[in-house]
Amino acid sequence: MTRLGLLGLVLTLAAPSCTMLASKGDYADYREIRLAKGTDSRLYALQQYAERHPNGLWAKDVEIERSTRETETFENGKSTREGLERYLRAYPDGTFAAQARSRLAAVALIERRRQAEQAEAQQRFEARKQREQELTRTWVTRFAGYWSTTLARLNGWGQPIPDVARQNQQFSRAFGALPRPRCTETECIKYYTSPYGIPVPGGTRVERVLSLVLRLRMTEGKLDRAELLMPAQGFSRWYELEQRKLIASGDGEGRNVAVNWALERLQETLKPAIGDLTALASYTLGPIPAPTIASSGEITDTTAEDPSEPAKQLTAEPGVPPASQPDVATLVKPKEQAGPADMVFSPLGVTKEGRTFQTPTAPGAPPPPTAASGEVMVMDPLAVPRDASGNPLAAPAAPGAPAPAVAPAEVPTPPVVKALQGHGLRVVFFAAAGGATGTDAYDGLIIERVAAATAPAAAGKPAKPKAAVAPAPTPKPPVARPATPPAPAPAAPVAPAAPAPAAPAPH
C-alpha cells in the first residue's frame, strides 16, 4: 500500500472517533475559532468557546491561548474606552477585570464631563454669536446714546479742544478710537458706515448702507457745537437696521414711524444727562455745511465707543488683553516715536473766500493754487432739511457760484425740528422732509453752547416786560433831582469826570 493510501486510511478512521467525542455545538464553536479573521474576532470566539464548553474537547487548548493573550490585551487597551471594552468582552472574569471596570468608569466620567464642556462651549458660542449679531443690529442706538450723553455732560465747552480733552479723559480716549478723527482748525470729524440687509417676504433681502458722521465744530479754535449727522434720511436707515423692517422710497407713513421712533430714543437717552430743558417754540434750524474732510478709511468699530464697554471684549481670546486706547496726551499732542496724533490738524488749506485746497505734504511740492488761478477746489456745502415754514435750509453758495437747484419733495412729509435749551446748552433734534433724497437729507442731533447773553432772550418773554417797566418810572425822578437841594448827589458822579482836567495841574 502506498504512503498516500495509508494516510487516507488514518484520516478515515480518525474522523469517526472525533465525531463521537465532540458534540455538535462543541465542534461548531471551535470551528468559529479556526475561521475567525483578526485578533479581536479570535479573542471573542475563544471567550465564547470557554464559556459554553468548559469541558469541551478543545477546552485546554483554548484556555492556554487565552491565558497567553490576556496580559497583552489589557496593557494595549487599558487607556481607552475601546481597549477596556475589548478586554472585558474577551475576559469578563479575567485577572484584570476589576481594574478594567474601574478604569472604564473613570473614562466614562471623563467623557461625560468633556461632553458637558463641549455642550457648554457650544452654548457660549451660540450666545456670543447672537450677542454679536445683536450688537451689530443695535450699534447706532448705543452709539447715539453714549455720545449724546457724553457731549451733554462735557466739561470745557467754549474752550480749545486740547483743554477739553484734558478735562474729559474718557471722552478723549473714546473720540480718539477707531475710526480716528480727522481735524482742521474748525472741525473734527469721525465717519461711520454699516452695511446691512433687510429681509423681504417672497424675495431675498434689500441691501442698505447706513452712514453716520460725528462732528465737533470750533469757533476760533474753541469747541462750541457737536453734531450727530445721519445723511440720506438716516433715521429711516437706523429704524430699518434695528427693527428689520423695510421703509421703501416714497413710504411717507413708514418714514413718520421711523422719525418718531428715533426722536423718542434720542430724547430718552439725553434726559438723564441734562434733565428738563425749556422748549423753544420758534426755533429755525440754520444751514448745516458739508464736512470739509473725507473719511480716513480706517476700520469702523460698531460698538459704543466707551472704553469700558464690555462688548469690546466679546471676541477677545482668553488671556489676551484688549487693545489699548490712546491716552489724553496722544490725543492732544503726539509723543515722539509714537506715530501720528489721533487728531491731525489742518489737513486742508482755506482761503479768505472760504474756498479750500489740499496743502502740499512732500518736500519740494508746488505751492498751493490761489483763488485767482481758478484751480482751487470748492467744497460745496450739502443741502439740509427744510424749516418749519417749508423753506429749504440750503447752505449759502460760495461767492460767485450759482444758487443750487432744490429738488421738489416727492412725499408730503414735513421736516421735524425740535429745540430745547437750558444749562448753557441748546439741543436740537431734526429730521429731513420725507421727499428729500441723497446725502443731503440729514437727520440728526445738535448740541451747542449758548452764550450767557443770549440765553435769557431765548427763554424769552419775562425779560422784555421788565425792561419796558423799568425805564417808565426812572425818567421822572432824574428831572426832579437837579432842581432840588439834593442836587450835589448827582454832581458827585460828575465830579469824577473833573479829575481829567485836574490831572494836568500836577504835571
User: What is the full DSSP assignment across 213-245?
Assistant: EEEEEEETTEEEEEEEEETTTHHHHHHHHHH--
In the chain, the percentage of residues whose pLDDT exceeds 70 is 62
User: What confidence score (pLDDT) does residue 309 get?
Assistant: 60
pLDDT band at 453 (very low <50, low <70, confident <90, very high): low
Instruction: Give the tens place of pLDDT for each residue, 84-98.
Output: 999 999 999 999 999
Residue 344 has pLDDT above 80, yes or no: no
> What per-residue confidence (pLDDT) applies to 382?
33
C-alpha cell at 87: 478586554
User: What is the structure's pLDDT at 44?
Assistant: 94
Which of 201, 228, 224 minimizes the C-alpha distance to 144? 228
Mean pLDDT value of segment 357-364 = 40
SS3 432: coil
**pLDDT tens column, 237-268:** 999 999 999 998 888 899 999 999 999 999 99
Distance CA 68, CA 73 (A): 10
Euclidean distance between CA atoms 198 and 94, whole angstroms: 67
More reliable by pLDDT, 91 or 353: 91
- Give the phi and the psi of residue 292 in degrees, each rounded to 5: -95, 0
Query: By the 8 A CB rule, do 425 and 225 touch?
Result: no
**pLDDT score, position 68:** 93
Q: Tell me if 410 sits within 8 A of 416, measured CB to CB.
A: no
- Long-range CB pairs of 278-284 (<8 Å, 24+ gap) are 278/420, 278/421, 278/422, 278/459, 279/418, 279/419, 279/420, 280/419, 280/420, 280/421, 280/426, 280/458, 283/417, 283/419, 283/428, 284/387, 284/388, 284/417
- Amino acid 297: pLDDT: 76
Helix segments in 36-90, DSSP class H: 39-52, 59-77, 81-90
User: H helices within 78-168, ranges in order?
Assistant: 81-90, 97-137, 139-152, 161-167
CA atoms within 13 A on the CB side of 13: 6
**What is the pLDDT averaged over residues 213-236?**
93
Of 112-116, 157-161, 409-413, least confident by mean pLDDT is 409-413
Q: What is the pLDDT of residue 291?
A: 86
In this prediction the pTM is 0.56
pLDDT digits (tens, 9 = 90+) for 305-342: 766 565 444 344 444 444 444 343 333 333 333 333 34
Q: Determine the Cα–Cα distance for residues 66 and 459; give it in Å rounded to an integer.
A: 103
**160-169 confidence digits (pLDDT tens):** 988 999 999 8
Q: Which three cell numbers stand for residue 220?
A: 476760533
Q: Return the bridge partners of 279, or none.
A: 420
Handedness of CA 153, 158, 161, 163 (dihedral sign): negative
3-state secondary structure of 196: strand
